[in-house]
């Protein structure tokens, strides 16, 4: 029996698969840039408390609105706090909350979507109606309502964000499931008499997993956008915790004479969002999924 | 055909009904009620009683829902707690202002998005595509409040070309409003345009790879005729729905942008009424924003139905 | 030399692989197309035949590029001229008829416009004249009522009609050369025969040259004067049609012709081992080396050159063609099927009806299906243990629907499905017990869809073993290896994913999975139609071998009548979900008695220029079975009277054991046969 060289590819471990995907992602310039930015921010989030030169909440009226100098690299803000310190610390809350938020979104959205796609019929109709209704309430209104009534603690924000950004995943997971269940291997499994649970686990999840992960990565960047908008509006983390959205909002009124206090957090937040976006894009391309046709809902 | 249209419209109403239920139940199950939330520490005695009576909170929840819904259908959303006047009157000018802002963004954004999307698709992987696609990725990812802030910093503060903050009364004439809305419109349109351009691009690329386009080329159809006759009608049709979703998503951006520019529209009302814990107004806003979303999607559905020959004949045959 | 219309010279086309290697799709192709001749290009998928045809129009697909050579037309190289000039040649001088007209017609433009567009571009006619011309063209391709067809959108036409529109569109520019890329693939047998007949007529009528690209030697045999055989991007044989089909002197063509089942021969043809190599895998040596019966050490390292034999007017790429020159005729040997069917009944379908109609609310409440005119009706078949029964018919005949019901995937409306004389199989999957599910297994048409792309071969074959027998660990592994060996796949396949296998190998895995359940009955749904011709015979032989080893019963669904002839013991002919004829295959094929059977068999294309198809009935596509009377009344050319339209015909038995459902008396039907 002849064995062609290109067919010689063995089953790989999960670790090897993941590292392969990362290598493919990094092989594109945009993917490489995105990954580097993301990794930089993650590392920064871990080490920033140890490298921050000043205390982020130390108010010093004598040092109000100082321009950038050798001592204060990014200058100081209206309360005399070091902008550099606050900027490198400013992404920690956002990164943590949105990361866990998107994990929750991924889980409930993915599972409900797969379930609806497989079951179909009346249950599917009803669930999709409700999801549609949730989609038609602007996220910002709903989030503001929840936050203003329940407070802005992490325990509220993570599940609330997770819930609101998960409803879009329901649709994606459902559509992907629909594509898969029309295939003959599902018909074959059903004809053999496998249970629904076994079909979901063995046949559907391996085939929709990629689409859901890509969607989750995308949600992450949108969730970050949403979360910082909340902070900016004053409904996110509460002062004096450093947060980019909040910093921009505070320094905005003074930017005609102290632009540095606004520029630093803007660069921080924009670079993180772009980094996540480029990474999600490269991730989608590495898995062979076109994400540019999706609407941002 | 008619049946399909009616069905879509009905589905829209069902969605709105569910939205109203969600907001109603949502505000109901959260701790406190509209009066205690609004009055906060003064929530006792005569004042609380008066508030309850005014909002009719002393009747069972389902009765309140029914009477609220019946009134809402007639355009009466009840009484604003913070504005001390009927919500209808608070909403009127705000809706007008926001519509001006949003429709300006849409009318500028859609043509630009179409052109950019088509150009990037036709020159795929060449210089125009790479340049525009890079810019759209940036435009798409940066939150509105950042782009708005930067616009104010650069154009209003450093260059002093346009006013950075809208300081006009709520019911100002359109001409006076115009210079004030240029920057907000740009901030809103940017993210939406970038999204749409990317969607148009991939849709066009998909159609360009289809067998019928290959056939048109092999038939000897000149390039631009092929693009306009064979590619665009088929590429833009599926894009309609996605564009509608993007427009609906823009509503969120409008809120933030209005706050940045201090613009007297619906968005700022959202923030104000939430800060003031004015729950009846919030409910009204939820329904109104949801109806905008639902009607835009309905419009997109109807357009697709109208333009797609497949669906048209499907109906005739039935 | 002036009679040469298109000259292909040393053409190589390829693409860059991910690693940056240059991979050739076409390797150094040279050939000429003469004025007025029809050249057939035949090859399996991936042989480069479509790429060659497109290159003849100066078109190279996105991702591919020309590495060298030229396509000369009117003394200009089409691969190297300005697009303005190309636009004047395409459609006017050279026109293409595409494979899948349904997708090659722009969906948002009306048929009339799409033809008019070609006329506007390539003629000087004014509006009135063009309008007339459109009608003329539609008439020429024999479409009914051209005026209304012109106002339709592509999706409103049937597959055959769409293909005819594509022909009309190509003729609009009165081209000198017509390129046809698999123009009849995907059409029903009768439609296919009609379209081919039309193309033959047009070739004669207009005198254009044609290049006919196909994987189907049967179709090629009907139209071409000259045949070019392609294998792995190379021309391996080129010569006059008759010689190539009757006396192929290249081992590939020789083996291929031997492995194609023929209508006139019952039994399984010889199979060819292996499958066509992927582009880029073979660097030196003959690309057919490892599948060839004649190969020697020399073939492994040296590539044979295309050699022109003057006396035969044939070019051949083989070191050993002389060995084949001696063989005067292909003597096709078939292994006769051993009949091991017993008289014991294993499955009985009685009065089975199946409906796709949506349940109305009231029906949902009472859990019933009410449909007076169901898709499938009155099916009565007795299947004996160990036999292979084939269900044949065109698309829409309900053959796959019946399979689904037997498997429990589709509820029956009425009737009973009985297993082993006593056990009633419930019509609903959920109500069948695991053993009922185990005894019936399915093999699907397309292994790409029927194997989960994310599972290894081991996981795929393990599924039924785990589910039905609870096997684990070493024992499971032993069983899997055992099964893979039975389908002639080595142990090392266990860790492969489906995408790493060739089409034939994938289908073997699907077969292994079906047999893993130790079923009594296997339902085969078009199992060979997604496979390449050279692989098809091997899979059929494998199925036959397994059946003899295990005593399994096959219910075999196929549209390919020659394949059915090769493998089946008994045939049931279906039209619009109603049975027309049931009987031993020998008798059905030798004496087709039902008018529809006659039509079907008449339309089969044989890879033999001497056997022409007989076109008996019109190729109308009916969407729904008629409410009353005989199911075939709409297309039957032998209607005896009103009785055909009002009454369901009775079953009549012939002395050979056929059962026929027709109003024409059996004696008359049979007499006609022997005329």
Collect all residues of chain C within an 8 Å Cβ-Cβ radius of residue A184: 444-446, 449-450
Residues 6+ apart with CB under 8 A from C499: C453
* Out of B137, B242, B259, closest to residue A233 by CB: B259
pLDDT average, residue stretch C616-638: 78
| pLDDT at residue C259 tops 60 | yes
C120 contacts C130 by C-beta, under 8 angstroms: yes
Q: Is residue B85 part of a domain?
A: no
C521/B56 Cα distance (integer angstroms): 72
User: Whats the size of chain A, residue-wise?
Assistant: 297
Q: Is residue A10 part of a domain?
A: no
**Which position has the token pair 């489906």?**
C498
Burial (0-12, 13-18, 19+ Cβ within 10 Å), B7: exposed
**Is any Cβ of chain B less than 8 angstroms from the Cβ of C105?**
yes
Residue in chain A closest to C463 (alpha carbons) equals: A189
pTM score of the predicted model: 0.82
Collect all residues of chain C within an 8 Å Cβ-Cβ radius of residue A207: 452-454
| pLDDT at residue A85 tops 60 | yes
pLDDT average, residue stretch A197-220: 87
Residue in chain B closest to C171 (alpha carbons) equals: B219
Contact B201 A292 (CB under 8 A): yes
In tens, the pLDDT along B187-215 reads 888 888 888 888 888 889 888 888 899 99
Pairing state of beta strands C521-525 and C553-558?
parallel
Largest CA distance in chain A: 84
Which residues span the domain enclosing B34? 2-73
| pLDDT at residue C316 tops 70 | yes
Least confident of A68-82, A144-158, A214-228: A68-82
Contact A192 C409 (CB under 8 A): no
Same domain, yes or no, for B156 and B220?
A: yes
Q: What total number of domains does chain B contain?
A: 2
Residue C525, min C-alpha distance to chain A (Å): 11
B276/B283 Cα distance (integer angstroms): 13
Strands of C307-309's sheet, edge to edge? C94-97, C177-181, C209-214, C38-42, C226-231, C234-240, C314-316, C307-309
Query: Backbone phi, then psi, for C34, in 5-degree steps?
Result: -95, 160
Of C411, C342, C346, the C-alpha closest to C376 is C411
B80 contacts B282 by C-beta, under 8 angstroms: no
Same domain, yes or no, for B17 and B120?
A: no
With cut-offs at 50, 70 and 90, classify the pLDDT of residue A209.
confident
B181/B184 Cα distance (integer angstroms): 5
pLDDT at C529: 85
As given in the structure block, the two tokens for residue A43 are: 């590392």
In tens, the pLDDT along C210-253 reads 999 998 888 899 889 999 999 988 899 999 998 888 888 888 88
Of C657, C386, C349, C403, the C-alpha closest to C527 is C403
Q: What total number of domains does chain A contain?
A: 1
Same domain, yes or no, for B232 and B290?
A: yes
C114/C145 Cα distance (integer angstroms): 17
pLDDT average, residue stretch A119-139: 79
In tens, the pLDDT along C379-398 reads 889 898 889 999 998 887 88
pLDDT average, residue stretch C279-297: 80
pLDDT average, residue stretch A278-285: 84
Beta-bridge mates of residue C574: C579
Same domain, yes or no, for B58 and B199?
A: no
CATH class of C345-568: alpha beta
Instruction: Provide the strand spans (E) within C74-117.
Output: 76-77, 94-97
Contact C441 A2 (CB under 8 A): no
Strands of C22-34's sheet, edge to edge? C22-34, C4-16, C65-73, C76-77
Pairing state of beta strands C570-575 and C314-316?
unpaired
**Is any Cβ of chain B less than 8 angstroms from the Cβ of C173?**
yes
For residue B313, the SS3 value is helix
* Out of A132, A232, A293, closest to residue B145 by CB: A232
Pairing state of beta strands C307-309 and C376-384?
unpaired
pLDDT at C42: 92
**Is any Cβ of chain A less than 8 angstroms from the Cβ of C281?**
yes
With cut-offs at 50, 70 and 90, classify the pLDDT of residue C478.
very high
| pLDDT at residue C586 tops 50 | yes
B281/B76 Cα distance (integer angstroms): 11
B288 contacts B280 by C-beta, under 8 angstroms: no
In A38-97, the residues whose Cβ lies within 8 Å of chain C are none
Contact A206 C501 (CB under 8 A): no
C191/C485 Cα distance (integer angstroms): 41
Q: Is residue A295 part of a domain?
A: no
C106 contacts C191 by C-beta, under 8 angstroms: no
A274/B85 Cα distance (integer angstroms): 44
Query: Cα torsion at C383, C389, C394, C399 (round to 10°)?
Result: 40
C619 contacts C159 by C-beta, under 8 angstroms: no
Same domain, yes or no, for B61 and B103?
A: no
| CA C483, chain centre distance (Å) | 29
Residue in chain A closest to B158 (alpha carbons) equals: A256
Under the phi-then-psi rule, with left for phi > 0, alpha for psi from -120 to 50, and beta for the rest, what region is C80?
Answer: alpha
C445 contacts C527 by C-beta, under 8 angstroms: yes
**Is any Cβ of chain B less than 8 angstroms from the Cβ of A156?**
no
Beta-bridge mates of residue B188: none
Residue in chain B closest to C95 (alpha carbons) equals: B219
For residue C542, the SS3 value is helix
DSSP codes, C577-608: TEEEEEEEHHHHHHS--SHHHHHHHHTPPPS-
pLDDT at A296: 43
Of C623, C618, C649, C647, the C-alpha closest to C635 is C618
Burial (0-12, 13-18, 19+ Cβ within 10 Å), C225: middle
Mutation test of the interface with chain B: which of C107, C148, C171, choosing the one with the most B Cβ atoms within 10 A? C107
Of C214, C212, C99, C119, the C-alpha closest to C169 is C119
**Is any Cβ of chain A less than 8 angstroms from the Cβ of C434?**
yes
Mutation test of the interface with chain C: which of A23, A120, A193, A196, choosing the one with the most C Cβ atoms within 10 A? A193
Contact A136 B19 (CB under 8 A): yes
Contact A206 C454 (CB under 8 A): yes
Same domain, yes or no, for B38 and B97?
A: no
Burial (0-12, 13-18, 19+ Cβ within 10 Å), A47: exposed
Mutation test of the interface with chain A: which of B8, B14, B141, B266, choosing the one with the most A Cβ atoms within 10 A? B141
Q: Is residue B18 part of a domain?
A: yes
Q: Where are the domains of chain C?
A: 94-174, 238-336, 345-568, 581-673
Residue in chain C closest to A204 (alpha carbons) equals: C452
For residue C387, the SS3 value is coil
**Is any Cβ of chain C less than 8 angstroms from the Cβ of A188?**
yes
Same domain, yes or no, for B138 and B192?
A: yes
Residue C138, min C-alpha distance to chain B (Å): 17
Contact B212 C103 (CB under 8 A): yes
DSSP codes, chain A: ----GGG------HHHHHHHHHHHHHTSHHHHHHHHHHHHHHHHHHHHHHH-SS-TT---GGGTTPPP-SSSTT-B-TTS-BHHHHHHHTTHHHHHHHHHHHHHHHHHHHHHHHHHHHH-HHHHHHHHHHHHHHHHS-HHHHHHHHHHHH-S-HHHHHHHHHHHHHHHHHHHHHHHHHHHHTSHHHHHHHHHT--HHHIIIIIIHHHHHHHHHHHHHHHHHHHHHHHHHHHHHT-SSPTTS--HHHHHHHHHTTTTT-THHHHHHHHHHHHHHHHHHHHHHHHHHHTT---TTS---
Q: Is residue B79 part of a domain?
A: no
Same domain, yes or no, for B109 and B155?
A: yes
Collect all residues of chain C within an 8 Å Cβ-Cβ radius of residue A28: none
| Percentage of chain A modeled with pLDDT above 90 | 6
Q: How many CB atoms lie within 10 A of CB C6?
A: 24
A80 contacts A139 by C-beta, under 8 angstroms: no
**Which position has the token pair 């209508």?**
C263
C123/C110 Cα distance (integer angstroms): 20
Contact A192 C500 (CB under 8 A): no
Which residues span the domain enclosing A255? 23-286
| Average per-residue pLDDT for chain A | 80
Least confident of B210-224, C504-518, C611-625: C611-625
Same domain, yes or no, for B220 and B290?
A: yes
In tens, the pLDDT along C530-580 reads 888 888 888 999 999 998 888 899 999 998 888 998 889 899 999 988 999
Least confident of A84-93, C266-275, C295-304, C325-334: C325-334
Mutation test of the interface with chain A: which of C454, C516, C517, choosing the one with the most A Cβ atoms within 10 A? C454
A240 contacts A57 by C-beta, under 8 angstroms: yes
For residue B113, the SS3 value is helix
| Percentage of chain A modeled with pLDDT above 70 | 91
| pLDDT at residue C326 tops 70 | yes
In tens, the pLDDT along B159-190 reads 777 776 666 665 666 666 677 778 888 888 88
ipTM of the prediction: 0.82
Collect all residues of chain A within an 8 Å Cβ-Cβ radius of residue B259: 233
Residue in chain A closest to C453 (alpha carbons) equals: A207
pLDDT at A81: 78
- Residues of chain B where predicted confidence (pLDDT) is lower than 50: 314-318
């Amino acid at each position: 029996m002849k064995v062609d060289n290109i067919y010689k590819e063995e089953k790989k471990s999960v670790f090897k698969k993941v590292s392969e995907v990362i290598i493919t992602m990094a092989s594109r310039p945009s993917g490489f840039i995105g990954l580097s930015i993301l990794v930089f921010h993650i590392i920064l989030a871990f080490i920033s408390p140890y490298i921050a030169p000043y205390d982020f909440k130390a108010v010093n009226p004598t040092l109000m609105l100082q321009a950038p100098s050798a001592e204060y690299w990014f200058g100081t803000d209206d309360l005399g706090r070091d902008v550099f310190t606050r900027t490198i610390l400013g992404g920690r809350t956002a990164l943590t909350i949105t990361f866990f938020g998107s994990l929750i979104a991924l889980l409930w959205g993915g599972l409900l979507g797969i379930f609806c796609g497989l079951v179909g019929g009346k249950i599917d109709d009803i669930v999709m109606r409700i999801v549609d209704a949730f989609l038609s309430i602007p996220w910002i209104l709903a989030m503001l309502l929840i936050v203003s009534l329940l407070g802005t603690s992490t325990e509220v924000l993570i599940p609330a964000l997770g819930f609101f950004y998960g409803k879009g995943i329901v649709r994606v997971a459902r559509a992907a499931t629909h594509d898969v269940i029309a295939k003959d291997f599902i018909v074959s499994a059903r004809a053999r008499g496998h249970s629904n649970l076994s079909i979901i686990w063995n046949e559907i999840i391996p085939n929709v997993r990629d689409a859901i992960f890509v969607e989750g990565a995308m949600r992450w960047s949108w969730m970050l956008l949403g979360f910082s908008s909340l902070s900016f509006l004053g409904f996110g983390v509460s002062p004096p915790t450093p947060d980019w959205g909040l910093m921009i909002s505070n320094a905005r009124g003074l930017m005609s004479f102290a632009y540095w206090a606004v520029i630093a957090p803007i660069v921080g937040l924009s670079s993180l969002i772009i980094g996540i976006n480029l990474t999600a894009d490269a991730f989608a391309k590495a898995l062979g999924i076109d994400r540019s046709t999706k609407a941002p809902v | 055909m008619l049946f399909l249209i009616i069905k879509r419209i009905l589905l829209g109403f069902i969605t709105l009904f569910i939205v109203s239920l969600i907001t109603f139940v949502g505000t109901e199950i959260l701790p406190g009620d509209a009066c205690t939330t609004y009055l906060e520490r003064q929530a006792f005695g005569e004042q609380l009683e008066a508030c309850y009576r005014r909002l009719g909170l002393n009747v069972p929840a389902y009765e309140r829902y029914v009477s609220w819904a019946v009134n809402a259908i007639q355009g009466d959303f009840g009484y604003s707690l913070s504005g001390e006047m009927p919500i209808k009157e608070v909403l009127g000018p705000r809706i007008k202002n926001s519509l001006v802002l949003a429709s300006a963004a849409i009318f500028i954004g859609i043509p630009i998005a179409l052109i950019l999307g088509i150009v990037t698709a036709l020159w795929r992987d060449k210089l125009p595509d790479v340049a525009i696609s890079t810019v759209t990725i940036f435009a798409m990812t940066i939150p509105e409040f950042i782009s708005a802030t930067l616009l104010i910093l650069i154009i209003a503060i450093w260059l002093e070309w346009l006013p950075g903050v809208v300081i006009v009364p709520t019911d100002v004439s359109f001409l006076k409003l115009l210079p004030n809305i240029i920057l907000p419109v740009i901030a809103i349109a940017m993210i939406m345009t970038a999204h749409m351009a990317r969607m148009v691009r991939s849709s066009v690329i998909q159609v360009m790879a289809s067998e019928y386009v290959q056939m048109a080329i092999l038939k000897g159809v000149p390039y631009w005729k092929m693009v306009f006759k064979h590619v665009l009608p088929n590429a833009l049709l599926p894009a309609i729905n996605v564009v509608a979703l993007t427009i609906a998503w823009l509503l969120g951006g409008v809120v933030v942008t209005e706050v940045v520019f201090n613009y007297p529209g619906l968005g700022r009302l959202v923030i104000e009424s939430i800060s003031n814990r004015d729950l009846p107004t919030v409910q009204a806003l939820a329904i109104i924003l949801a109806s905008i979303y639902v009607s835009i999607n309905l419009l997109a559905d109807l357009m697709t139905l109208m333009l797609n020959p497949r669906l048209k004949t499907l109906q005739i045959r039935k | 030399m002036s009679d040469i219309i298109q000259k292909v010279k040393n053409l190589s086309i390829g693409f860059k692989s991910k690693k940056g290697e240059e991979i050739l799709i076409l390797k150094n192709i040279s050939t000429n197309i003469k004025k007025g001749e029809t050249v057939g290009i035949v090859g399996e998928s991936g042989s480069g035949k479509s790429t060659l045809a497109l290159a003849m129009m100066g078109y190279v697909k996105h991702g591919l590029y020309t590495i060298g050579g030229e396509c000369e037309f009117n003394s200009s190289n089409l691969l190297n001229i300005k697009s303005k000039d190309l636009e004047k040649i395409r459609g006017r001088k050279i026109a293409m008829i595409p494979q899948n007209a349904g997708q090659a017609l722009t969906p948002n433009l009306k048929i009339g416009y799409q033809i008019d567009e070609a006329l506007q571009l390539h003629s000087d006619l004014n509006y009135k004249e063009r309008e007339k011309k459109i009608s003329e063209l539609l008439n020429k391709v024999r479409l009914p009522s051209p005026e209304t067809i012109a106002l339709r959108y592509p999706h409103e036409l049937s597959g055959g009609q769409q293909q005819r529109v594509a022909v009309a569109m190509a003729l609009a520019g009165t081209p000198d050369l017509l390129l046809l890329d698999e123009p009849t693939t995907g059409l029903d047998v009768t439609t296919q025969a009609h379209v081919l007949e039309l193309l033959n007529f047009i070739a004669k009528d207009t005198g254009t040259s044609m290049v006919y690209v196909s994987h189907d030697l049967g179709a090629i045999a009907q139209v071409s004067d000259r045949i070019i055989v392609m294998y792995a991007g190379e021309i391996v044989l080129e010569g006059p049609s008759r010689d190539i089909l009757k006396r192929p002197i290249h081992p590939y063509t020789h083996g291929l012709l031997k492995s194609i089942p023929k209508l006139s021969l019952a039994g399984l043809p010889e199979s060819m081992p292996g499958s066509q190599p992927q582009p880029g895998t073979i660097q030196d040596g003959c690309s057919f080396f490892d599948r060839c019966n004649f190969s020697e050490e020399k073939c492994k390292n040296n590539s044979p050159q295309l050699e022109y034999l003057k006396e035969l007017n044939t070019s051949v790429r083989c070191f050993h063609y002389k060995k084949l020159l001696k063989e005067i005729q292909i003597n096709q040997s078939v292994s006769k099927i051993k009949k091991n069917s017993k008289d014991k009944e294993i499955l009985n379908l009685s009065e089975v009806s199946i409906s796709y109609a949506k349940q109305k609310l009231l029906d949902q409440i009472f859990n019933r299906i009410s449909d007076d005119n169901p898709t499938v009706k009155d099916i009565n078949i007795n299947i004996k243990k160990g036999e292979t029964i084939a269900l044949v018919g065109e698309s829409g005949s309900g053959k796959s629907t019946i399979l689904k019901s037997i498997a429990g995937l589709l509820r029956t409306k009425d009737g009973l499905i009985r297993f082993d004389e006593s056990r009633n199989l419930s019509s609903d999957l959920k109500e069948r017990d695991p053993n009922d599910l185990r005894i019936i297994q399915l093999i699907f048409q397309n292994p790409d869809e029927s194997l989960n792309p994310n599972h290894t071969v081991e996981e795929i074959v393990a599924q039924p073993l785990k589910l039905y027998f609870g096997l684990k660990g070493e024992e499971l592994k032993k069983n899997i290896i055992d099964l893979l060996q039975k389908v002639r796949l080595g142990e090392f396949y266990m860790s492969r994913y489906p995408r790493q296998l060739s089409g034939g190998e994938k289908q073997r895995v699907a077969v292994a999975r079906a047999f893993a359940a130790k079923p009594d009955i296997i339902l085969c749904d078009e199992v060979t139609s997604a496979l390449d011709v050279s692989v098809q015979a091997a899979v059929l032989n494998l199925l036959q071998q397994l059946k003899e080893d295990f005593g399994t019963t096959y219910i075999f669904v196929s549209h390919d009548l020659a394949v059915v002839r090769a493998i089946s013991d008994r045939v049931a002919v279906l039209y619009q979900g109603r049975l027309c004829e049931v009987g031993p295959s020998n008798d059905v094929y030798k004496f087709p008695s039902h008018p529809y059977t006659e039509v079907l068999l008449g339309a089969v294309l044989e890879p033999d220029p001497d056997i022409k198809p007989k076109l008996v009935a019109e190729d109308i596509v009916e969407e729904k079975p008629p409410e009353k009377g005989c199911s075939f009344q709409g297309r039957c050319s032998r209607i005896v009277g009103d009785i055909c339209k009002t009454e369901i015909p009775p079953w009549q038995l012939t002395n050979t054991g056929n059962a026929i459902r027709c109003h024409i008396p059996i004696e008359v039907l049979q007499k006609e046969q022997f005329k």
